[in-house]
Structure 1
Amino acid sequence: MRDVPLPVAAPVPAVPASGAAPRRCALLCGVLVLVTSCGWGTGDEGDGGLPGAPTGVTAAAGSATTVHVMWNTVDGVETYAVYRGGAVVKEVPASDRMVDITRLRPSTAYAFTVRARDADGRLGPHSREARATTPDASTDDSAPTRPTDVRARAAGSRAVQLTWAAARDDRGVVSYDIHQGGTKVHSVGGGQTAAVVTGLRAGTRYSFTVRARDAADNLSPASAVVRLTTPGSDDGRATAPTALHAASRRTDGAYHIDLTWVPPRTDGAVTEYQVHLDGRPATSLVYGGDAPRDRAEYSFYAGREAGVTHRVRIRARLADGTWGGFSAEREVTTGPPG
């Protein structure tokens, strides 16, 4: 864990970070047609308490050497294992429902399945098989042009419809990568110029860009950023840390504030929190791979003066890169005055 000080100015809510948030992406061709992909649904019920088999598994070539695999979420799992044939080729956290399988052979047919793993390390059954064939390889040093005329409109409070004008390439565009903030959240075929991203939160501001990719894996510059706020409101209770407790402690002539809380129940572990002191951001803490799931704690410097009362609250950065709701605010006083 590292402690990163933040400026006093109010933060701009970030948009997508690692691991992407629970989303379901759907392709459009002429009219809007939703198809299963990185989605919310649940897997088939497992036997004997094992995780269910992921449903809605799809595979699509992203270039001559990559295939994009997607699936629906399975409740209560820790990780997903992606298989090519009988071998595991990738394992990802529960917050991810998509992955790019790389270093494949051009002009080759592949079959993929996905299995869910629970907190006890038990693997559920294989999903149904999804197949994809990579296109021919070509010697090509020219990247496609950037997609233009990118537009977005809300499709309800939890979804956004994106459209764009096709990019140009001397050998042809194989796929388009959709980025939410700085994170790739989906890939669609080169013949598509529209998609729907779901699993978003109401009343939240998002930004999207689109990039084109050719068979040689050359990637275009990003399109212009398109921004919008989903309609409705989100009171933040479902994504807020709970059971926040704050206490003052004196050490070496100075006061520190000790915090403990229960992390919000979201897909995957929460790895970043922001602490607000007296209504302003005071510090940020970032965990590595050992982010706490049941109980978190943190201490920070609060000055040398006794009898000062502070208000403190925290919030978590979610898997989709946006900030969750604030915890309840607590008051804490730096020891007895005098």
Structure 2
Amino acid sequence: MRRVPWPLVPVCWVLLLVAACGWGGAGEGDEGRAPGAPAGVTAQAGSATSVHVMWDAVPDSTRIRVYEVYRGTTKAEEVPGSQHMVDVTRLRPSTLYSFTVRARDAEGRLGPPSRAVRARTPALAAADRSAPARPADPAGRVLGAREVQLSWGASRDDRGVVSYEIRQGGTEIHSVGGDQTAAVVTGLRPGTAYVFTVRARDAAGNLSPASAPVRLTTPGADDGRDTAPTGFTAHTHRSGGAYYIDLAWDPPRTDGVITEYQIRLDGTATTSLVWGGTPPRGRSAYSFYAGRTAGEHHRVRLRARLPDGTWGGWTPQRAVTTAG
């Protein structure tokens, strides 16, 4: 919880917003072509009832509105076009599944399916409440401005480790099978300090404590401008004798979904906005209480927590005045 200066309310708002999908298939007169098939699709059992599916963004990914993940011929999940991984849940233990991914663009055109990948869920361990041991001796090395390699010692578990989760800043960014003790993490930012941890998961879904942190800094420079929200505006309005500051912005284009933003008011971080569900697509808006006094001047800006767990660049600062 962050300390919020008066007159703001000291609360971390959780916005449970779910965007509705209302597009149809493409008509014969639509211009352009449907998206291509996603490449680099992988599937790895995460527990006895879940599989983690990942894929690469299709070329010209700015046109992609959603990715659809299919279990056999059944659509199992749908995620925003900025997201390239998902956990498919509610599966059966000891079962072989086949997954494909398809891209749908802003005009509603659905591309062809990716190549099929298979994953078998392990048997469910009855009454297993024992979590795996913490992964030991984690290490890492920088491979370039946008990728690093991590390694760790195998975790011990009485029933066996099914998968390892790699986290950065509390955000899961990668997953590998329980027989792997190394991974390459891509899609990072140049000139950025990262802190990675690894957790082991068993067939019952029990998670180990996080490993010791691995601290790595990618070479190069990043001024944050490419990761700042765009089209940022700020205005005020009066309601019920009080004043509110109204913000609107477009999310930065990133390789992954953004679920959290931070507001800075008059030079101090004040509030975090966290979407509890699927973030709205396109432009976002938020209003917050600014007191009951007219003629007060405020300066406000915004930044996003990126899919790699780091904070992106700040928007330009906007000045607002509460008016009578």
The TM-score, its normalising length taken from structure 1, stands at 0.73
**AA matched with 1:114:** V
Cα deviation digits, residues 169-210 of structure 1 (max 9, x gap): 344333222222333332212222111111112233333222
**Hey, what does 1:61 align to over in structure 2?**
45
1:169 to 132, 153, 157: 157
Preserved contact between residue 77 and residue 118 of structure 1 (Cα < 8 Å)? yes
Cα deviation digits, residues 78-98 of structure 1 (max 9, x gap): 222211221112222223322
Preserved contact between residue 83 and residue 257 of structure 2 (Cα < 8 Å)? no
**Hey, what does 1:160 align to over in structure 2?**
148
Within a 5 Å distance, the mapping from 1:123-162 to structure 2 comes to 123-139=110-126, 141=128, 142-162=130-150
For structure 1, which segment, 127-136 or 195-204, has the greater mean C-alpha deviation from structure 2 after superposition?
A: 127-136
**Hey, what does 2:71 align to over in structure 1?**
84
CA distance in 1, matches of 2:160, 2:320: 62
**Hey, what does 2:196 align to over in structure 1?**
208
For structure 1, which segment, 56-65 or 230-239, has the greater mean C-alpha deviation from structure 2 after superposition?
A: 56-65
1:70 to 31, 49, 54: 54
CA distance in 2, matches of 1:140, 1:299: 47
**Hey, what does 2:95 align to over in structure 1?**
108
Cα deviation digits, residues 269-312 of structure 1 (max 9, x gap): 65443332222223344456463623646454155253x54333
SS at match of 2:226: helix
Name the CA shift for 1:296/1:266 in 2 (closer, same or farther; >3 Å): farther
Preserved contact between residue 146 and residue 187 of structure 2 (Cα < 8 Å)? yes
**Hey, what does 1:277 align to over in structure 2?**
265
**AA matched with 1:7:** R
Preserved contact between residue 241 and residue 292 of structure 2 (Cα < 8 Å)? no
Cα deviation digits, residues 118-167 of structure 1 (max 9, x gap): 23443211111112334455557344322111123332222222111111
Preserved contact between residue 152 and residue 160 of structure 1 (Cα < 8 Å)? yes
CA distance in 1, matches of 2:205, 2:259: 31
SS at match of 1:155: strand
1:238 to 216, 219, 226: 226
**Hey, what does 1:14 align to over in structure 2?**
none
SS at match of 1:122: coil
2:33 to 36, 49, 55: 49
Is 1:7 the counterpart of 2:3? The answer is: yes
Is 1:186 the counterpart of 2:170? The answer is: no
* Contiguous gaps of at least 5 residues in structure 2: 6-30
The TM-score, its normalising length taken from structure 2, stands at 0.75
Preserved contact between residue 70 and residue 99 of structure 1 (Cα < 8 Å)? yes
* Structure 1 vs Structure 2 CA RMSD: 3.3
SS at match of 1:78: strand
Name the CA shift for 1:245/1:181 in 2 (closer, same or farther; >3 Å): closer
**AA matched with 1:146:** R
* Contiguous gaps of at least 5 residues in structure 1: 10-46
Alignment identity in percent?
Answer: 63
How far 1:325 sits from its partner (Å)?
Answer: 1.0
**Hey, what does 1:95 align to over in structure 2?**
82
Cα deviation digits, residues 213-260 of structure 1 (max 9, x gap): 334544333222333343333211112223434445566766554444
